């Protein structure tokens, strides 16, 4: 699965891509959609160091040609997502060669570069459907303990990848502000609902799974073919209003507590870029084996991905005092109970047709330790044990002015560091 694009000694003529701490070395080459400040001419870009390549301009300059490149002329990734893995891989290989140190394409490709700091980004694909899973058993267990101390994990959890369908129209790109949602809540000890702004606003540390070709309506996706339908991953923050959720979630699950906003990072890291970090997926001894359609078989040897995740918080006072963001928790995607391939197979097993640009959330990605919770509800045990920040402030849930930033990266022996950029949002008061 590895090829010349993954070689750790490969360097670029874009100098910042060669820095050890760069999120976007030449081994990464993630995809996004951008425009220049003050314009609405949206184009596809590929990140390299602190720059990005304007793909449309590169095609016009005759640096690249072919059907797969023509699919990248548009204002979103959907046409390219539909082409599938062979086309994705050819584009990656050609872009890697063009950006490599000593490339003859440097002179013609240089005018196609833009500083990432000087452009605007948006959600890079048209998202027809959004589904949020519940793949972390550590998160599911801790949340369950708050409501069912004697039986925190429901009996179906180890058998079926649980999910709900969300709202795609309110998915926004990193940097978009969040207005505190309003909804029905019931006061502690009360019985009658009233409407107010959420007082228990939370974040959720997740990854987003971006779907490629998809399947025909009525046909499932075999578990062994699931990888072929995943283009890549991004960071995802599924903001949640816990007080609204507590009143409305029975019997059909999340509604207004979740649909007001979901934030994703602007860059999609391809599955191919993550190949060096694939690892064995396994379950604890004694847990039931997955049913046949979810059984990874020999594919289990590379079904997990070693992606390190972290969430940081910066309050208004911290910004004014020039105090750096506080790291609230760290976790890793390798600890998820369900792999991304199993989520894809589950989604399509009943005949649901996935289409290019569909987005799946992994659900909150928490680690096995108590300090690895992927949301404040976990870390504070439902608000009972607030967190003390470095400047002395306390947080049980988010306050107006708080900035939440998600980060992710991969490191490993014999591989360059691969980063995901940042997924950030600031909480503002309700309208």
Cite the active site residues.
139
**Exposed, middle or buried, 232 (CB in 10 Å: 0-12/13-18/19+)?**
buried
Virtual CA dihedral for 367, 370, 371, 376, nearest 10 degrees?
Answer: 90
| HSE toward the beta carbon, residue 202, CA cutoff 13 A | 27
Q: In what order do the strands lie in the sheet with 403-412?
A: 178-179, 415-428, 403-412, 308-314, 326-332
CA dist., res. 22 & res. 35, Å (int): 22
Cα angle vertex 132, ends 130, 135, to 5°? 150
Q: Where are the alpha helices (DSSP H) in 126-241?
A: 137-147
* CB count in 10 Å sphere of residue 61: 16
CA dist., res. 266 & res. 419, Å (int): 12
CA dist., res. 363 & res. 352, Å (int): 20
Cα angle vertex 232, ends 229, 237, to 5°? 120
CA dist., res. 243 & res. 17, Å (int): 44
E-state strands within 5-61: 31-36, 43-48, 51-54
What tokens does 20 get? Answer: 């050890």
List C-alpha distances in Å: 429 to 178, 179, 236, 260: 8, 6, 22, 14
């Amino acid at each position: 699965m590895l090829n010349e694009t993954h070689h750790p000694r490969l360097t670029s003529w874009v100098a910042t891509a060669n820095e050890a701490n760069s999120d976007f070395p030449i081994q990464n080459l993630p995809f996004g959609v951008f425009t220049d400040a003050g314009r609405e001419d949206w184009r596809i870009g590929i990140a390299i160091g602190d720059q990005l390549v304007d793909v449309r301009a590169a095609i016009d300059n005759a640096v690249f040609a072919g059907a797969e490149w023509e699919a990248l002329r548009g204002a979103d990734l959907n046409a390219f997502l539909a082409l599938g893995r062979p086309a994705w891989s050819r584009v990656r290989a050609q872009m890697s060669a063009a950006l490599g140190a000593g490339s003859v394409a440097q002179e013609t490709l240089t005018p196609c570069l833009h500083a990432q700091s000087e452009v605007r980004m948006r959600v890079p694909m048209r998202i027809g459907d959004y589904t949020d899973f519940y793949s972390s058993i550590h998160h599911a267990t801790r949340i369950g303990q708050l409501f069912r101390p004697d039986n925190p994990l429901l009996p179906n959890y180890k058998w079926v990848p649980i999910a709900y369908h969300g709202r795609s129209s309110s998915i926004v790109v990193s940097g978009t502000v969040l207005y505190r949602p309003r909804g029905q809540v019931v006061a502690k000890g009360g019985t009658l609902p009233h409407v107010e702004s959420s007082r228990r606003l939370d974040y959720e540390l997740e990854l987003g799974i971006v779907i490629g070709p998809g399947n025909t309506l009525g046909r499932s996706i075999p578990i062994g073919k699931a990888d072929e339908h995943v283009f890549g991953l991004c960071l995802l923050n599924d903001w949640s209003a816990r007080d609204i959720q507590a009143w409305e979630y029975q019997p059909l699950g999340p509604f207004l507590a979740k649909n007001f906003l979901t934030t994703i990072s602007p860059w999609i890291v391809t599955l191919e870029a993550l190949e060096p970090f694939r690892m064995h997926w396994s379950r604890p001894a004694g847990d039931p084996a997955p049913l046949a359609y979810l059984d990874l078989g020999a594919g289990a040897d590379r079904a997990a991905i070693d992606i390190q995740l972290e969430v940081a918080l910066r309050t208004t006072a911290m910004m004014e005092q020039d105090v750096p963001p506080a790291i609230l928790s760290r976790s890793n995607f390798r600890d998820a109970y369900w792999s991304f391939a199993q989520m894809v197979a589950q989604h399509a097993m009943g005949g649901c047709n996935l289409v290019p640009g569909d987005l799946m959330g992994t659900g909150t990605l928490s680690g096995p330790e108590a300090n690895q919770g992927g949301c404040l509800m976990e870390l504070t045990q439902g608000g009972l044990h607030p967190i003390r920040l470095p400047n002395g402030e306390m947080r049980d849930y988010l306050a107006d002015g708080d900035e939440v930033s998600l980060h992710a990266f991969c490191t490993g022996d014999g591989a360059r560091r691969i980063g995901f950029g940042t997924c950030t949002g600031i909480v503002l008061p309700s309208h």
